[in-house]
Structure 1
Amino acid sequence: MILVLLLMGVSISVGVTNIPLTKVIKSFTQFNGSNEHLIIQTTRVPRAIISVVVGAGLAVAGAVMQALTRNPLASPATLGVNAGASLFIVIAVSFFSITSLTSLMSIGFVGAAVASFTVYFLGSVGKEGLTPVKLTLAGAAIAALFSSLTHGLLVMNEKGLDELLFWLTGSVEGRKLEMVSPVFPFVIGGWVLAFLLAKPINVLATGEDVAKGLGQRTGWTKLAGAAVIILLAGGSVAIAGPIVFVGLVVPHLARTLVGIDHRWLIPYCAVLGALLLLGADIGGRFIMVDQEIPVGVMTAIIGTPFFIYIARRKVTEQA
Structure 2
Amino acid sequence: MILLAAIALLSLLFGAGDVGPGRAWQALSDFDAAAMHDSEAHFVIGELRLPRLGIGLVVGIALGIAGALLQAVTRNPLAEPGLLGVSAGSAFAVTLAILWGADAATLRISVAQLGALGGCLCVLAAARLQGIGNDPVRLILAGAILSGLLHSLSSLILLFDQYTADEIRFWVVGSLAGRDATDLMPLAPSLALAALLTVILARPLAALALGEHVAIGLGHHPRVVRLLVIVVVALLVGGATAIAGPVTFVGLVVPFAARALAGPDIRRTLWFCLPLGPIVVVSADIVSRLVVPPSELPLGVITALIGAPVLIAVVRRRRLPML
Tell me how far apart the structure 2 counterparts of residues 232 and 218 of structure 1 sit (CA, whole Å).
21
2:290 matched to 1:292?
A: no
| CA deviation vs aligned residue, 1:16-48 (integer Å, no higher than 9, x gap) | 241444532532x66745332232122111100
Q: CA deviation at 1:248?
A: 0.7
The answer to which of 192-201 and 254-263 deviates more is: 192-201
Residue 67 of structure 2 is aligned with which of 40, 62, 65? 62
- What does residue 85 of structure 1 align with? 90
Tell me how far apart the structure 2 counterparts of residues 58 and 255 of structure 1 sit (CA, whole Å).
15
- What does residue 49 of structure 1 align with? 54
The DSSP-based 3-state class of the residue aligned with 1:181 is helix
- What does residue 313 of structure 1 align with? 317
Tell me how far apart the structure 1 counterparts of residues 304 and 288 of structure 2 sit (CA, whole Å).
12
Contact 2:92 2:154 in 1 (8 A): yes
1:237 counterpart letter in structure 2: T
For 1:2-41, list aligned pairs within 5 A.
2=1, 4-16=2-14, 17-18=20-21, 19-21=23-25, 23-27=27-31, 32=35, 34-41=39-46
Tell me how far apart the structure 2 counterparts of residues 317 and 183 of structure 1 sit (CA, whole Å).
45
2:189 counterpart letter in structure 1: P
For 1:101-250, list aligned pairs within 5 A.
103-117=107-121, 119-120=123-124, 122=125, 136=139, 139=143, 142-250=146-254
Q: CA deviation at 1:159?
A: 4.7
Residue 278 of structure 2 is aligned with which of 238, 262, 274? 274
Check 1:317–1:210 CA distance in 2 against 1; reply closer, same or farther (3 A cut). Answer: farther
- What does residue 71 of structure 1 align with? 76
1:154 counterpart letter in structure 2: L
Contact 2:71 2:77 in 1 (8 A): yes
Q: CA deviation at 1:318?
A: 7.1
Tell me how far apart the structure 2 counterparts of residues 196 and 251 of structure 1 sit (CA, whole Å).
19
Q: CA deviation at 1:145?
A: 3.4
1:63 counterpart letter in structure 2: A
Tell me how far apart the structure 1 counterparts of residues 235 and 159 of structure 2 sit (CA, whole Å).
30
Tell me how far apart the structure 2 counterparts of residues 123 and 211 of structure 1 sit (CA, whole Å).
22
Tell me how far apart the structure 2 counterparts of residues 221 and 215 of structure 1 sit (CA, whole Å).
12
Contact 1:187 1:236 in 2 (8 A): no
The answer to which of 182-191 and 141-150 deviates more is: 141-150
The DSSP-based 3-state class of the residue aligned with 1:197 is helix
Contact 1:69 1:133 in 2 (8 A): no
TM-score (structure 1 length as normaliser)? 0.86
Check 1:311–1:133 CA distance in 2 against 1; reply closer, same or farther (3 A cut). Answer: closer
Tell me how far apart the structure 2 counterparts of residues 225 and 212 of structure 1 sit (CA, whole Å).
17
Tell me how far apart the structure 1 counterparts of residues 110 and 203 of structure 2 sit (CA, whole Å).
32
Q: CA deviation at 1:190?
A: 1.7
The DSSP-based 3-state class of the residue aligned with 1:74 is coil
TM-score (structure 2 length as normaliser)? 0.85
| CA deviation vs aligned residue, 1:127-160 (integer Å, no higher than 9, x gap) | x9xx777994875554343223222222333553
Contact 2:206 2:265 in 1 (8 A): yes
Check 1:236–1:132 CA distance in 2 against 1; reply closer, same or farther (3 A cut). Answer: farther
Tell me how far apart the structure 2 counterparts of residues 178 and 119 of structure 1 sit (CA, whole Å).
32
2:231 counterpart letter in structure 1: A
Tell me how far apart the structure 2 counterparts of residues 250 and 93 of structure 1 sit (CA, whole Å).
31
Q: CA deviation at 1:275?
A: 0.5
- What does residue 261 of structure 2 align with? 257
Structure 1: segments with no counterpart, 5+ residues: none
Identity %: 35
Contact 2:203 2:267 in 1 (8 A): yes
Tell me how far apart the structure 2 counterparts of residues 311 and 280 of structure 1 sit (CA, whole Å).
23
Contact 1:102 1:180 in 2 (8 A): no
Superposed CA RMSD in Å reads: 2.8
The answer to which of 98-107 and 209-218 deviates more is: 98-107
Q: CA deviation at 1:187?
A: 2.1
